[in-house]
Each structure stands twice: as C-alpha cells, then as structure tokens.
Chains A and B, each alone.
Chain A
Amino acid sequence: MTKKIILLTSVLFLSSCAGTSIQDLGDKFLDLINPSDPAVEVEDLSDSVLMLDDESGSFSGEDLGDAGMNAGEESSGKTEAEIVVGTLADAGVSFVLYFSYDDAEIDEEATQVIIDHANFMKNNPAISLRLEGHADERGTREYNLALGENRALSVKEVLGLYGLENRVEVVSFGEEQPIAFTHDEDSWQKNRRVEFIYQ
C-alpha cells in the first residue's frame, strides 16, 4: 500500500515538471549522418512495430510465473513430437553439438550428426526444430550473444542443404544459460554448444 502512494506522488511530481523535460529532437539524428554512406539505410517502422509491452505494466514488472509452472505441465503425457524424437535419441544421435573457442565452424563429426537430424526431419515432415546457440563465459556478454547465434546459424546452414531451412528456428542465449558452472576449460567446453530442440 505504501508503495502505491509513493508511486502516485512520483507520477504527480514527474508530470508537474514535464514541461522542462520533453525534448523535441525529431529526426535530428538523420541530419547528422552522411547520406552517401553506403551502410546507411532508413526504414520507417511506425506502422509495423508493436511498441507497448503489454505484459509488464506494473512497477516491479514481475515476469515470474510461466517459467516456474512449465515443468509441471509437461509431465501430463508425451506429445506425438516427443515420441518420434525419442526414436532419434534411441538411435544414439546427439542433440548437442560442441564448438571451439570463439568459433562457429562445423567439423566433420558434427556434420554427420546434423545429417542424421536432417534425415530425421525429412522422415517426420510435421516436426520443426529450434536451434539454441550458446557460448562460454569468457569475453563480453553481447559479443557472446552474437557468437551463439552464429553457431546455431552454422548448423542451420547445413540443414538448409537439405531444404529444411523453413522448419528451423534459430535462437541465441549467449553466455546466459550455461549448463556447467565452474570457471575452467571443463565447463567452458560444455557450454560452447548448440542444442537441438524439436517442437
């Protein structure tokens, strides 16, 4: 309750001094940029982009809930996808590929694993794949996010040779979701990975 009152005061306070804070900068940034710069492309996203984030309107914006619940829901019975994916696992095909430091290259061994997945997907046309790319904790977080995406994209590229690119979604978690937590090569090796998740 105290919190609410404080929040109200803050809104009143901020609105009372809004006159000084609103800056009419418009497209000033555009004027700065050299029009002959070949990298510069301008897109108007005012019609196409959903701007408000409807799910977190409150002050503390607690996103908890769904993540904690998911585990319970999944135990209620296997989906058809889970059953067919089980056959792939039974055949001994790995659902994780590992990478070298700061590298997204696919070696021969990994290519064979991807081919096994490609064949599986061709035999199960209803199934789609989510490739989750990860990095170890070394280096910066944002660079690692980009690196994780490149790793997943390398795998997708091989699947693309089999015409499967439209059934593959790529997501990167960078170094944010490690599976091993010590600060040594042992853990780092396990964390530099792409996971295959069928849906």
Chain B
Amino acid sequence: MKILKTLALLLTLVSTVAYALLEVTIVKSEENAFPIVIAPFEVIGDADQGADIANIIRDNLNRSGQFNALSSNEVITNKIDFSYWKARNKDAIVFGKIEKVSSKVFNVYIYVYDIYTKKRLYGKKIAVHNSGIRRISHYLSDKIYNVLLGQKGSFDTRLTYVTVTNDEKLGRVYQLEISDADGHNAQTVVKSSYPILSPAWSPDQKKIAYVSFKNGRSEVFIKYPFMRVKSIKLPRFDGIASAPSWHPGGQGLALTISREGNKDLYFYNLESKKLIRLTKDVAIDTEANFSPDGKSIAFTSNRSGQVQIYIKDLTNGTIKRATFEGSYNAKPVFSPDGKTLALIHRIGKDYRVALLDIKTRDLTVMTQNKLDESPYFSPNGGMIIFATNRNNKGVLSVISLHNNQIVELAQKGAEVREPNWSNYSK
C-alpha cells in the first residue's frame, strides 16, 4: 500500500501540462513476437479509464518488439475459453477490471493466464488515484513482461530529449524535455534560445546533466526536474566543458574538459568538488561512458589518427582500443550487462548505430540510415533509442534488439534529438 501511495504521488508530478506530444509509430514490424491477448477491462461504475489501461499495456508490449498483443472483441471476466484461444495460437491472456471506489480512486484487478497450462501466472488488485492510471499501466506492463519472459521490462521509466523549433519572433528555440518511456506526459524542463545537448538522467533519476551554450560556450549544468532548486553549473576552464556521463554510483560525472586547447576526460565529484583527470593525450578524447560497474570508461578518441573507441580500465590505468572495423566509430554507450557497446559507425558515407561485442570485437550494424546519432540502451538492455533523420526531420527511433522492430517518435513542427533513457524507478 505504501508503494502505491508513492506511485500516485510521483504521478501528480508528471501530470502537469503536456507542452508537446510525441507521435509514436511502429515503422517496421517483425515476426518472432509472443502472441498474446489483452482483453478490454471490465468497467464497474463510472470508470472510462478501464479502456486506457488495456490500451496502454497493449501499446507498451507491442512497442517492445517482444509481443504481438491483440485485443479481444469482448470483455473477459473470469471464465476463460482456453481451447478457443489455443485454436487461435495465442500463448497467454491478460484481462482485468476497474472499479470506481470514490470520485478519484479506483481499484484495478489484473490477471495473466498461460493458455496451454491454464495456470494463473499473475493476479493483483491495486488501488490507484485517477492521475496514476498511466503510471500503473506502465508498472503492470513491466509485471506482465516479467512473468511471460522472465526478464525485466523498461516501461515504467522516463526519457529525456531535446526539441528544436523555429519561432517567428525568437528564432530557434531549444527545449530540454522529459516524458514517460512511451513518449506520453511530455514536459519542458529548460527552454532556451541557445543550443542544448547531451542530456543524461542521473542514476537516481532526480537530476539531469546537460550541456547548454547559454553563456556563449558549452558548459555542463545539472537540473532537478522535479524540485524547485537551483541548477548547478559544473567547472570549466578556457575551452569546452561537455559530454557529461554519470558514474553509476551517482556521486559524480565524467566530463570532457578542454584546457589550453587539449580535450581530455575528467571525473568531477559533486560532493568533494574534486576534479580528477582521467586521460592525458594531445588528441581529442571525448564522449566518455561509464561501464555499469563503474570500473571502466569507454570513450571516443582520434589518437590513432582515426576516430575510434577506447576503453580505459580505471583500476589499473590501462587503455585499450575497442573498435577495429571501419575508420569512424564514436559515442560508445555500455549495455546494462556491460558486455556490449552501442556506438555510431561510419559505413561508406553513412553514420549508423552499431553494436560491438567487447570481447569478440564483432560489430553489427543495426540500421540502414544516413545520419544516426546518440544511441542509448533501455534499462533492461532490450532496446536502443537513438536520433536519426526521417524525411529531412530529426526524429527518435527505438530499435528492439529482440527482432529489430523499429518504433519512431516524432513531434509535429519540431526536430527531436539527443535521447537518453532513465534507469528503473525506485
């Protein structure tokens, strides 16, 4: 019950005015998805939200690429016609009901059954505030994903990204946005006439580090999107300060800092305010990303004369080159299990998201695009979100690593770029 209260409260935070809506489209659907049925919820009393819950869950599971979730024509109460669904090659069925308790509070009941064994895999009754319907739907999507696949879902998480619009009076307007993982509940965190880039959720999801040019040059700031406190500016010297990457412990960030023209990687401890130099090379070192255990960093460097990715083991100080295929590999990010890097790989004249198996050095190009940027893993490692161009417009693209299904998030009249995916809620 305590957990539920927390969920409801968090929801009131994200349910402020939605400034802009991301339109979500499944661009490329693939086979090899788990066939399931998610029935419309039975509604008891005045509770139209019942339809929303089933729809949100269905959309979530379909977006993951892991499921082919269809609706049923009728509400299912408690008698399941297992042979009917078995004949239609469905593996599992989800149904439930929503019951009005008071003007703003509802009881949600949900059940998941395996059609072959006829066993109940999950059953739950949850009390939820009206404003918490979306959040509960994401939470339940994660539960269903977990009982059916044995893996964690990434639905009850958030995105941050940058939009760029052209305003008649103000010129280009840059907005740092946050939204739910499905693109709903979008909110503006920073609005500026100056470029914004590289937003990154802190591991506790309370802060976003980002780069702004509002003082005439690139500087790193930390914003608290849910708190009314001042943002923090991180140190800079005579050149650029950029490319923030949180240490998984949250106590500080890796940054690119240029001093006397030399761009190297540093770690800035937010508590002790100590700055620790991590690389020292006359070449460009940038785009650091911490491994999930915090013991190494992957980064981009042109120290070999080409732009390639290196991994520094912070415990012994050794630096090893990680990419050997192609003449341009940049912007590495570790997968949550630490075994793979997502990166930008140039092939011919095109820049595409690729995956590198760190141990075997196998490189797999994941897209057919021309200008991919800024890949980032979903917290369960099942998807990669990145920015690309579609019809001369910046959009976000999400690729399922299960079957390469692609979902695009676009905004009318705006370029969308620089995506970053939060960790799980606590």
Contact = CB atoms under 8 A, between A and B. Distances in A.
Interface string A10-26: 11011001000101011
A140 B330 contact: yes
Contact of B274 (A30, A34, A145): A30
B198 A142 contact: yes
Nearest to A61: B190
Interface of A: 2-3, 6-11, 13-14, 17, 21, 23, 25-30, 32-34, 36-46, 48-68, 102, 137-143, 145-147, 149-150, 153, 170-174, 176-177, 182-183
Interface string B124-168: 000000000000000000000000000000000000000000000
Interface residues of B, number: 93
Contact of B250 (A23, A49, A51, A61): A23
Contacts of A13: 9-10, 13
A64 B214 CA distance: 9
Nearest to A59: B228
Given A34-B315, A149-B261, A172-B240, A27 B274 contact: yes
B39 to A, nearest CB: 34
A29 B197 contact: no
A68 B286 contact: no
Given A11-B227, A171-B216, 14 more contacts: A23-B250, A32-B315, A42-B276, A45-B273, A61-B191, A62-B191, A65-B193, A68-B171, A141-B374, A142-B242, A145-B286, A149-B263, A172-B239, A183-B371
B300 A140 contact: yes
A71 to B, nearest CB: 9
Nearest to A8: B228
Interface string B213-243: 1101110010100111111110100111011
Ranked nearest first, the 10 interchain pairs of A and B with the lowest CB-CB distance are: A37-B317, A67-B193, A176-B195, A63-B192, A25-B251, A46-B273, A140-B331, A39-B280, A41-B277, A146-B284
A150 B301 CA distance: 13
B68 to A, nearest CB: 35
B316 A34 contact: yes
A51 B233 contact: yes
B256 A142 contact: yes
B374 A147 contact: no
B380 interface: no
Contact of A146 (B263, B273, B294): B263
B232 A53 contact: yes
Given A146-B263, A149-B261, A172-B240, A26 B271 contact: yes
B351 interface: yes
A10 B276 contact: no
22 contacts: A6-B13, A13-B9, A25-B271, A26-B272, A29-B249, A29-B294, A37-B317, A38-B280, A39-B264, A40-B277, A42-B277, A45-B235, A45-B268, A51-B233, A52-B231, A60-B190, A61-B192, A64-B191, A139-B328, A140-B373, A147-B284, A150-B284
B169 interface: yes
